[in-house]
């Protein structure tokens, strides 16, 4: 079983729509959680950390459900520039990160 | 503001050839990493260096060696390339948990 699993998508949404997706993790002892964004043929970049109480960063909202071992990302008012692959990342509070394979989001005009 | 610099960006090798991927960071980070990314799979950790002078195996170390030359530089060596090592390789550095800065990647094809 993979440590981090994501629905690969793609999620095809019109501009202005809301899109949400989850990832599940297998290690219940995981302590820290993040979402990274990766544009086509580019390097991943940190989008946001995920806190236990949930957190927002502009149009992006991240949630953590420890009981069910999943994290979610919601994007409101989607922009064309949000088209990317979103990588779910977990760690057991050390510097080594475990990455999911990513969820692809395509926003169409 | 170079961040993490990887060279080369592209490389084609014949089976059995060797090569070294170079990585340098200018952010004074202690920790550095090498990952590979294959279609349908997440980034997988090959080797990492928690601090200058130390290196440790990650999830997929077989066929690779690393050198932490100094605090800035962390190189990855393929001694005898195999087609299974065709991949995109990313170097990263960090000073905080989760806060990785990645290089732009090396696209390696082994024929």
Q: Is the pLDDT of residue A106 over 80?
A: yes
Which pLDDT band, with edges at 50, 70 and 90, does B99 fall under? Answer: confident
pLDDT tens string B26-52: 999 999 999 999 988 889 999 999 999
Q: Are B34 and B77 in contact (CB under 8 A)?
A: no
Q: What is the pLDDT of residue A93?
A: 63
Q: Please report the pLDDT score of residue A101 as a whole number.
A: 94
pLDDT at B75: 98
Task: Report the C-alpha gap between A36 and B53 in whole angstroms.
Answer: 29
Query: Residue A1 CA to chain centroid, in angstroms?
Result: 19
Q: Which of B40, B48, B105 sits opposite A101 (nearest CB)?
A: B40
Higher-confidence residue: B86 or B42?
Answer: B86
**First CA to last CA across chain B, in angstroms?**
36
How does DSSP assign B38-88, residue by residue?
-TTS--EEEEEESSTT--EE-S--TTEEEEE-SSSBEEEEESS--GGG-EE
Q: State the Cα–Cα distance between residues B27 and B30, nearest whole angstrom.
A: 9
C-alpha to C-alpha distance for A32 and B110, rounded to whole angstroms: 36
Per-residue pLDDT, averaged over A67-74, amounts to 96
**Residue A25 forms contact with B (CB below 8 Å):** no
**A68 contact B CB<8A:** no
pLDDT tens for residues A5-56?
999 999 999 999 999 999 999 988 888 999 999 999 899 999 999 998 899 9
A69 has a pLDDT exceeding 90:
yes
Copy the structure tokens of residue B98.
Answer: 């989760």
Rama region for A63: left / alpha / beta (φ>0; ψ in -120 to 50; rest): beta
Whether the CB of A34 is below 8 Å from some CB of chain B: the reply is yes
């Amino acid at each position: 079983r993979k440590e981090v699993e994501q629905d690969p998508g793609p999620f095809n949404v019109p501009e202005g729509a809301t899109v949400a997706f989850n990832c599940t993790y297998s290690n219940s002892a995981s302590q820290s959680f993040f979402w990274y964004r990766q544009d086509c043929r580019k390097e991943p970049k940190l989008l946001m950390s995920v806190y236990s109480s949930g957190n927002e960063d502009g149009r992006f909202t991240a949630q953590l459900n420890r009981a069910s071992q999943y994290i979610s990302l919601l994007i409101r008012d989607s922009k064309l520039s949000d088209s990317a692959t979103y990588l779910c990342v977990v760690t057991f509070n050390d510097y080594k990160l475990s990455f999911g394979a990513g969820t692809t989001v395509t926003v169409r005009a | 503001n170079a961040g993490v610099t990887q060279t080369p960006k592209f490389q084609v090798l014949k089976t059995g050839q060797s090569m070294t991927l170079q990585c340098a960071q200018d952010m004074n980070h202690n920790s550095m990493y090498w990952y590979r990314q294959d279609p349908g799979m997440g980034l997988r950790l090959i080797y990492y260096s928690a601090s200058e002078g130390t290196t440790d195996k990650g999830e997929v170390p077989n066929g690779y060696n690393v050198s932490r030359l100094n605090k800035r530089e962390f190189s990855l060596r393929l001694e005898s390339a195999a087609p299974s090592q065709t991949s995109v390789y990313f170097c990263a550095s960090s000073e905080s948990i989760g806060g990785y800065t990645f290089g732009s990647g090396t696209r390696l094809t082994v024929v």
